[in-house]
Amino acid sequence: MSSSSPAPLSLSEHLQQVTEHLAAARTPRDVFGVVLTPALEALNAVAGAVLLANEAATTLELIVTQGYEEGAQTLWQDGPLTGNVPAGDALNRREGLFFEAQGDLVRAYPELEARTGAVAAVATAVLPMFLDDRPLGTIILDFREPHHFTAEEVRFLRTLAAQCALALGRARLGQTLEARVAARTAELEEQRAALDAFVTYKEAVGGESDVLTLARQAIGVVRTTLAHVSAVYYELDGGYWMARVWSDDLPPEVVAQITAGVPQDAPNFAEAIGLGAPLFVNGWDALANGVPSSSSYGAVALLPLVIRGETRSLFSVGTREARAWSERERALTRAVARGLGVTLERTEHLRALDEERAALSAFARFTEQSTQASDELTLAGLARDVLQATLDVQVGYLELEDGRWVGRVFSEATPGDVTDQARAGVPAGSPTFSRPFEERGVVFVDGWDASGEEAGSGMSGAAALYPYTEDGQPRALLTMGTPKARGWTERERTVFRAVGHSLALAFERLGQTRRVEHQRSELEARTRALEGFAELTRDLMVEDDPYAFVRRAQEVVLSLLPPGYALYYERDGDRWRNRVQTGQVGHEELQAFINAGPLTGVTPSVDTPWTTGEPLYQNAYARGSDTPPQMVQHVGAAASLPVFRRGEVVGVLIAVLFGARPWTPTDRVVLETVVRSLGQALERAEGLAHLAQRTEELRRSNAELEQFAYIASHDLQAPIRAVNSFSEILATRYGAQLDGRGVRYLGFIRESGQHMKQLVDDLLTFSRVATEQRPPSPADSGAVVDQVRRRLMPEVEALGASVTRDELPTVRVDRQQLDQLLQNLIGNALKYHRLGVPPRVQVAAELEGDVWRFTVADNGLGIEPQYFEKIFVIFQRLHGQGAYPGTGIGLAVCKKIVERHGGQLWVESTPGEGSTFLFTLPAG
């Protein structure tokens, strides 16, 4: 029996079988197959179904049925997961629903049959399934007969549902994993394809560096990989995306439109640029994007190429089918665009390096040569040469002159009409020329429209301008241009910037050098002027006109300052007197005002330095303070300095300038130095004046003395002669009648008379030194000494003396006076000898500069040093008349003679040894 009809399986056996089968189930469908059949069999149900909830548990879907008639409607249909259907309720209540007898189900859900158009089974079980607490779905079993669900059956069904849920979860998980694996595989596949495309592209381009060739190759690769697409390479140019390269399949009308340019703000283009990433457009709006002719294209992709942070080119693909771009297409296009981007970037990088190198070497060359240049035009010429050597451009250098930009330096290649026009000058207000100064930097003009300028038609094309300022004001422009209106490349911009900047630095350096030079030369001029002044005041030692110094000081001051004039005021009662003026005051009434003498106390420019003793500097002259203002409209600045003489202000020197001037510390030092020197010169001049006065007084008293001596000696001669003659007569005729005392008295009278005669004679001689001098002429001094010696021979012999001489020179003298001089000196040398020592007198002479110094040396008594001066004074003697007769006039006469010849006489002596009289005389 068991072989023909196996005993029906028990519920637990069924469960065991189900568990085994479920282990092999892979898909949800497998699971339901495995679960449903044993469930039906075990409970003898006629049909069953499985409904599954969606992810969100909002709907139920009929997944599988078993046992229903083909094509028959069942109650179990797709629908919302609500509470008013059995499946929903079972899930909500989290327990199985069991309808055991006919009509039970319809009673519980009256509308169910009507809504589904199906008839309910006699008995039904609805079993909810949960996975991880989430509603998964329901298993439904329908019975043809009423069915009582035993506790065992209910447990069986619950277990079955739970197992089913687990298996379903496992199957789903497996499916998800598989799907993931499949997706990943597809992705990898795409990536591999994209990489292939990339590699293919990179291999194709090799070392190519031409942008358009690179773009063409990218289009080629895209076209071979995705046969059905068209491709275009665009570049941004003046606000338009200009197609530069495109695939051959592109319709001519599209080519015409995209080469004319797609506006930068075309929505999809703008969006792609905004994203900075590829944009895949599924529904292409040809019209909105400004390319109406491309309406045959259904989908377009725009891939911005970001190069060095800038998006100036774009790769685009399109297909005529209106559809979504597949992942593979996206990946491939992206890969090619990336390849193109990377290559362009590398090319761009190399080019930038090249540019940098070119700019650097241009910079270096310029810097090297610019240190030699000493003026702006040479520097501009160097800048031009460097630019020309580096770029294919025409260079110009313009300077602002009288409100016009005037061309100074040009490229040789510049057309003649352009240089002519530039030399004639362009008005400074021209917008393009003003822009670099307004923008404070280099300006690149891609499309130069000269018609707006007065520059004329010759200067068309692209231009670049580099501005140069001086004290914030426009001064010059370096320009480069090409006749073609085109955009400047980065390289051109870089080089121009570098050279322009170098030129600015060179200008700055030149300015600095000039400033230093200027300062130095100014300082030198000042030093020279001051030295000149100091020297002049020294030379003017004998000058006793103080105003000559003032004038010189004014000249020095004015020579160091911008145009103006100088005044020198002294006080005269209640007025200021202008004693010295240098330069024109430049206003007739003002001059009259100055000449009239401004009143003291109301003329601050003079009053202030006078009373304070301090200089007054007015950077901006206070017009109207000293004079009515209309007289001094032309006066800009003034400096008033007190002039001191022996600590007292004696005048005020004023330097007036026609322009305003901030009196710098240097100005002040110079002015104050000059005025201080002036004070010193004035003091010296005053000293000289005093000296001159005293000399004059002395001269006068001397002359008076001489006059007196002459008159006295002359007038005294007659009475002395009378006294002497009559005392002689008295002695001869009446001598016998006198007693001894009378004879002695008469003797005194006769002696005194003789002495007086001697005195008067000597005095006369003394006065004649001055009155009877003959003009000097060359005289042989040796011969004069010999003559004197002969005359003195009797005395020489009587004393056993010797008078000798060296070789003696010819001198320019009054010969008779020289004779008198030597006679007195040699005579004294013999007279003042030591007792018992035979006198030795030696005359010699030595040339000293342009004078002869004579010496008359003896071995006589000598003179005490305290008498060295006294002996030369008239009537001064050291010895009594008795010991050595004399009048004390001899040496006074000698001194006078020597001094009359411009020489000096003095004595050197050692008492008890001898004396040497020394005198100088001019060489003959």
Which span (213-221, 657-665, 814-822, 877-885) binds ligand ADP, by CB under 6 A? 877-885
| Smallest separation (angstroms) from ligand ADP to the CB of 827 | 8
Strands, DSSP E only, in 247-298?
262-263, 279-281
DSSP string computed for 710-751 = HHHHHHHHHHHHHHHHHHHHHHHHHGGGS-HHHHHHHHHHHH
The arrangement of strands across the sheet holding 914-922 comes to 802-805, 840-848, 851-857, 914-922, 905-910
Do 843 and 822 form a contact (C-beta atoms < 8 A)? yes
- CA dihedral for 823, 826, 832, 837, sign (positive or negative): negative
Q: How many CB atoms lie within 10 A of CB 650?
A: 17
Closest CA to 156 of 50, 41, 240: 41
Cα–Cα distance, 643 to 579 (Å, whole number):
13
Q: Phi and psi of 410, rounded to 5°? A: -135, 160
Closer to ligand ADP by Cβ: residue 93 or 879: 879
Nearer to ligand ADP, 258 or 892 (CB): 892
Q: Which of 634, 346, 386, 626 is nearest to 501 (CA)?
A: 386
Residue closer to ligand ADP by CB (options 683, 761) is 761
Q: Is 765 in the site for ligand ADP (CB under 6 A)?
A: no
Question: Of the listed pieces 560-568, 590-598, 773-781, 873-881, which binds ligand ADP according to CB under 6 A?
Answer: 873-881
Q: Nearest distance from residue 642's CB to ligand ADP, in Å?
A: 55
Strand-strand pairing, 840-848 and 802-805: parallel
Residue 464 Cα to chain centre, angstroms = 24
Contact set for ligand ADP, span 829-868 (CB under 6 A): 829, 832, 858, 860-861, 863
Q: In the structure encoding, which two tokens stand for residue 363, read together? A: 């910079």
The pair of structure tokens assigned to 239 is: 């606000």
Site for ligand ADP in 890-909 (CB under 6 A): 890-892
Structure tokens of 849? 């500069």
The size of the interface with ligand ADP (CB under 6 A), counted in residues, is: 20
Structure-block tokens of residue 557: 């001051």
The one segment of 190-198, 300-308, 320-328, 886-894 that binds ligand ADP by CB under 6 A = 886-894
Minimum CB separation of residue 836 from ligand ADP in Å reads 16
Reading the block at residue 699, the tokens are: 């001269």
The residue to which tokens 């989290």 are assigned: 94
At its nearest, how many Å lie between ligand ADP and the CB of residue 707? 22
Helix (H, G, I), strand (E, B) or coil at 241: strand
Closest among 191, 66, 70 to 140, alpha carbons compared? 66
- Binder of ligand ADP out of 879, 910, 912, 913 (CB under 6 A): 879
Indicate which single residue of 815, 877, 896, 901 sits in contact with ligand ADP (rule: CB under 6 A): 877
Of 261 and 888, CB closest to ligand ADP = 888
Q: Which phi-psi region, left, alpha or beta, contains residue 364 (left: φ > 0; alpha: ψ -120 to 50)?
A: alpha
In terms of CB distance, is 252 or 880 closer to ligand ADP? 880
CB of 917 to ligand ADP, least distance (A): 7
CA distances from 913 to 366, 823, 827, 858 (A): 91, 22, 17, 8
- What are 824's two structure tokens? 């007195």
DSSP state of 923: B
CA–CA dist 339, 734 (Å, integer): 166
Which of the ranges 85-93, 97-105, 216-224, 879-887 carries the binding residues for ligand ADP, by CB under 6 A? 879-887
Give residue number: closest CB to ligand ADP. 886
| CB of 825 vs ligand ADP, minimal distance in Å | 7
Q: Which stretch binds ligand ADP (CB under 6 A): 50-58, 655-663, 731-739, 887-895?
A: 887-895
Which one of 145-153, 524-532, 573-581, 871-879 is the stretch in contact with ligand ADP (CB under 6 A)? 871-879
List residues bridging with 62 in a β-sheet.
51
Q: Rounded to whole angstroms, how far apart are CA atoms 580 and 576?
A: 12
Minimum CB–partner distance for residue 873 and ligand ADP (Å): 9
Start-end of H helices in 226-275: 252-260, 267-275
Q: How far is the CB of 645 from ligand ADP (least distance, A)?
A: 44
Of the pair 15, 821, the CB lying nearest ligand ADP is at 821
Supply the minimum distance, in Å, between the C-beta of residue 892 and ligand ADP: 6
Q: Dihedral sign, CA of 496, 498, 499, 500?
A: positive
Instruction: Name the segment binding ligand ADP (CB under 6 A); options: 170-178, 204-212, 266-274, 881-889.
Output: 881-889
- C-alpha neighbours within 13 Å on the C-beta side of residue 648: 5
Sign (positive/negative) of CA torsion 473, 479, 483, 485? negative
Smallest separation (angstroms) from ligand ADP to the CB of 688 = 34
Please report how close the Cβ of residue 555 comes to ligand ADP at its closest, in angstroms: 54
Kindly tell me which residue out of 498, 656, 769, 871 binds ligand ADP, with binding defined by CB under 6 A: 871
Task: Report the amino acid identity of residue 606.
Answer: V
* Cβ closest to ligand ADP, residue 25 vs residue 891: 891
Q: How far is the CB of 866 from ligand ADP (least distance, A)?
A: 13
The residue count of the chain comes to 924
How far is the C-alpha of 307 from the C-alpha of 338, rounded, in Å?
11
Q: Which one, 65 or 765, has the nearer CB to ligand ADP?
A: 765
Provide the minimum distance between the beta carbon of 736 and ligand ADP in the complex, in angstroms, as a whole number.
36
**What is the β-pairing status of strands 230-237 and 134-143?**
unpaired
Residue nearer to ligand ADP on the CB measure, 698 or 873? 873
DSSP secondary structure string for all residues of 364-403: HHHHHHHTT--SHHHHHHHHHHHHHHHSS-EEEEEEEETT
Min dist CB 874 to ligand ADP, Å, is: 8
Residues pairing with 167 in the sheet: none
Determine the interface stretch with ligand ADP among 124-132, 338-346, 703-711, 885-893 (rule: CB under 6 A): 885-893
User: Binding ligand ADP by CB under 6 A: which of 828, 896, 919, 921?
Assistant: 828
Beta carbon of residue 784, minimum distance to ligand ADP (angstroms, whole number):
18
**Which parts of 808-827 interact with ligand ADP (CB under 6 A)?**
824
Beta carbon nearer to ligand ADP, 395 or 893: 893
C-beta of 582: minimal distance to ligand ADP in Å? 57
Distance of closest approach, residue 821 Cβ to ligand ADP, in angstroms: 11
Among residues 915, 918, 919, 920, which is the contact residue for ligand ADP, using CB under 6 A? 915
Question: CB under 6 A: which stretch of 15-23, 318-326, 682-690, 828-836 binds ligand ADP?
Answer: 828-836
Pairing of strands 240-246, 404-410: unpaired
Least distance between ligand ADP and beta carbon 737 (Å): 37
**Three-state DSSP class for 777?**
strand
What x-and-dash track marks residues 456-495 binding ligand ADP by CB under 6 A?
----------------------------------------
String marking each residue 537-576 x if it binds ligand ADP according to CB under 6 A? ----------------------------------------
Q: Identify the bridge partners of residue 618 per DSSP, sorted by sequence position.
A: 638
The one segment of 349-357, 368-376, 617-625, 882-890 that binds ligand ADP by CB under 6 A: 882-890
Q: Which is nearer to ligand ADP, 635 or 863 (CB)?
A: 863
At position 671, the amino acid (one-letter code) is L
For ligand ADP, the binding residues (CB under 6 A) are 824, 828-829, 832, 858, 860-861, 863, 871, 877-879, 886-892, 915
